[in-house]
Amino acid sequence: MRIAVLSGIPVYLNPYFLVMIAGYVAAGLGPQVLLLFLLVTAHEFAHLLVARVCGVEVFGVELFPFGGMARTGGMPADEPLVEAVVATAGPLNNFLLYGAGLALLRARGEAPLVSFYLDANMSLALFNMIPALPLDGGRILRAFLAQSVGYGRASAVLTRAGKAMIMCLLAWGLTAYLLGEFVPNAFAFAFFLFVAGRREAETSWYLVARSLLLKREALKRRRMIPIQHAVALGSVKVKEVCGRFTPNRQHLITVMDQSMNPLGQVWEIQVLDWLFAGKGEATLGDIVRSGPADRPDGKPT
């Protein structure tokens, strides 16, 4: 549900946030939920403002109870660490707000909502720094891992880390309950990770494909980028190869048959042509064996 447009950026409120707001209000905690809403909004807008400074196109932001998801046009392919810079902005914003709250506390003494304000900022910062997708810590780690294993593989590994974190949170909540203590935040955090993780999974391959497409723009802009060689069997699928392409490199693949005899060579741009033509299930062998008429772009191999 779109609730506002701030600095030209549409802000959407996830329905589960509405449920949480209703729960807080029903419990007589209206000021707390309003403060949490403002802190989550500030956290996400820190991401978006830094993204704009870094030249990343911003489409909007969706707010969840313990964080949010920015809708961007993809990170620059020739500057792979931009994602880490953008992801760091949210938790850093919360640490700065926490410091400001401590300064206010020392200057004026105890005040209503200050304790909640401090706890909420620290919780948002620390929770989002966990190295698992879709959290900021996962995005920071992905920016570094993508340089060696590729954006797709890094995303897959950190998505599995996110699922493991859900199981840990549920185990914590259930164990505490069996010991006679109810820890609602454990279940709330697990639910947020589940919902946001599903949204991440829905868009992950789009982001992979877009980041690869942006590499063409990087080549045009820089005119020369390093090349990386690889060897692969002809049976490897196009979508598998694309998940292993690393940022800031152009790839040349020597394709081999099962007897380890070379079939030919395939450039990264050829693989991307097949991917964007909807032929992700095709193999490298198919690309090598295809004639000009079979190529998605009609060009000779």
**Tens of pLDDT, residues 173-182:** 999 989 988 8
Q: Which two tokens stand for residue 23?
A: 């729960």
167, pLDDT greater than 80: yes
pLDDT at res. 294: 46
pTM of the model as a whole: 0.76
- CA 30 to chain CA mean position, Å: 31
Residue 64 bridge partners (DSSP): 67
pLDDT tens-digit readout, 246-283: 777 788 999 999 889 999 999 888 888 888 788 889 99
In the chain, list all ranges with CATH 3.10.580.10: 226-289
In the block, residue with structure tokens 């200057």:
107
Contact 70, 21 (CB under 8 A): no
pLDDT tens-digit readout, 100-134: 988 877 777 666 778 889 988 998 899 899 998 88
User: How large is the average pLDDT for residues 36-65?
Assistant: 83
Strand spans (E) along 25-146: 58-64, 67-72
- Give the whole-angstrom CA distance, residue 222 versus residue 216: 10
pLDDT at res. 14: 75
- Give the whole-angstrom CA distance, residue 293 versus residue 286: 13
Q: Does domain 226-289 have CATH number 3.10.580.10?
A: yes
pLDDT tens-digit readout, 149-162: 877 788 888 888 99
pLDDT at res. 293: 40
